[in-house]
Amino acid sequence: MAVQVCPDPGTDIGNFRADLDAVSPANVAKAVTAWPGSIDTAFTSGLTGPQSVAAGAKVINDFATTIDGHLSEAKKHWGIITACATTATDPNKRAIYLAFSLYDPNPRIQQITSLKTAVTSLADSLLKQFGTADQWTGPNSTDYVISAEVAPTFAVMQNVTAKVVNLTLKVDPNTSALSTEQQAAGSTTFGVRKYSTLTTEIGVGAVFGSIRVPTYGTSTNGAGQMIVAKKADTSPSLNAAVLANFVCRCGTGLLVPMVQVGALASKNLPSILVGGGVRLFGLGKGDIALGGGAMVAWYQDLKKLKVGDVISGTNDITSDLGFISSPKIGGYVTIQYKF
């Protein structure tokens, strides 16, 4: 059996305590505080996103290696202390070793072991979540892609909710245990649509049309007979219409040009609208737009009868009315509210 050399209990005990103190809460907190800065420094130096994350993960893993080294040394020194408690030849030194060996280091060693596991797990999670190249985009891959699930189309918007969470690493002041704390910093919901120079928006508007619908009534001729008489045309029409706007992403500021087409589902004046306009861009849901253009309309007019024909009553006029075969061209102005 090898003889345990126990020259100096003060040195052996000091070495043991130094290894434990190296992983004290204060020292761990100091190292943890520097981790985010290591990633920021890597970004500032011109590294890509994945490279910067890898640099930060390396700093964390290096700290885990340091913890493991102190843990191994502490166990080695503790082995010397417990052995010398029974084998030291100098009774005074043996008494010192024996007295210190009454201390139970297992709880502290277990705390340090758990800390090493937590640190290693943090580095692995950092690389897994942020270290893959296809999760980054932009110049030099410095823009992190938060989600790959947002897939809007030209026609359909997709609502996206973005949340910002402050993540804080905390070190227990008694055990050095590492934990994370999340605190919501804010959130917002916005619509996303696939980019195009012209984006389609549907709205409803009040349409003022220039086309006047002819109206007819009755009168009497010199012989006292009832005849068809022309009445005053109706005033310019006012109807509701549904319009599709093709809004230009031209970067023109507050007033943005657009092309629009629409339909006027009027019982007396069905029409097709083709024109353009401007609207307040960037205000989101509820914009006001002004538009105008050509109005292609159909209305009812006399088919066989004409002004001055003898009739038996107003029913003759009503039964003779029918929509014109060739549409009338006019103009319109609309005030529109975007859905």
318 is written with which tokens? Answer: 């009503």
Residue 66 above 60 pLDDT? yes
Domain ranges across the chain: 9-146, 198-338
Give the range among 45-49, 224-228, 282-286 with minimum mean pLDDT.
282-286
Residue 126's nearest CA partner among 184, 33, 48, 52 is: 52
Q: Dump pLDDT digits (tens) for 173-211.
A: 887 787 777 777 788 887 776 667 777 788 888 888 888
**At residue 238, what are phi and psi to the nearest 5 degrees?**
-135, 115
246 is written with which tokens? Answer: 């093709």
Q: What is the pLDDT of residue 1?
A: 44
The two most distant CA atoms of the chain are separated, in Å, by: 152
Kindly state the average pLDDT of the residues 10-38.
Answer: 92
- Percent of the chain at pLDDT above 90? 43
Residue 282's nearest CA partner among 243, 259, 256, 244 is: 256
115 is written with which tokens? Answer: 């800390």
- Spatial distance between the Cα atoms of 17 and 101, rounded to a whole number of angstroms: 13
pLDDT range class, residue 148, cuts 50, 70, 90: low
Residue 73 above 90 pLDDT? yes
Torsion angle, CA of 196/197/198/199, rounded to 10 degrees?
Answer: 40
- Spatial distance between the Cα atoms of 308 and 291, rounded to a whole number of angstroms: 41
Q: Dump pLDDT digits (tens) for 289-333.
A: 888 999 999 999 999 999 989 899 899 989 999 999 899 999 999
Q: Which residues contact 161 (CB under 8 A, 6 or more apart)?
A: 187, 188, 189
Q: What is the pLDDT of residue 224?
A: 87
Kindly state the average pLDDT of the residues 83-95.
Answer: 92
pTM of the predicted model as reported, rounded to 2 decimal places: 0.55
Q: What Cα–Cα distance (Å) separates residue 214 from each residue in 72, 230, 237, 269, 320?
A: 102, 8, 12, 11, 14
Q: Dump pLDDT digits (tens) for 244-293.
A: 888 887 766 678 888 999 888 788 888 999 999 887 755 555 568 888 99
pLDDT range class, residue 59, cuts 50, 70, 90: very high
Q: What is the pLDDT of residue 195?
A: 67
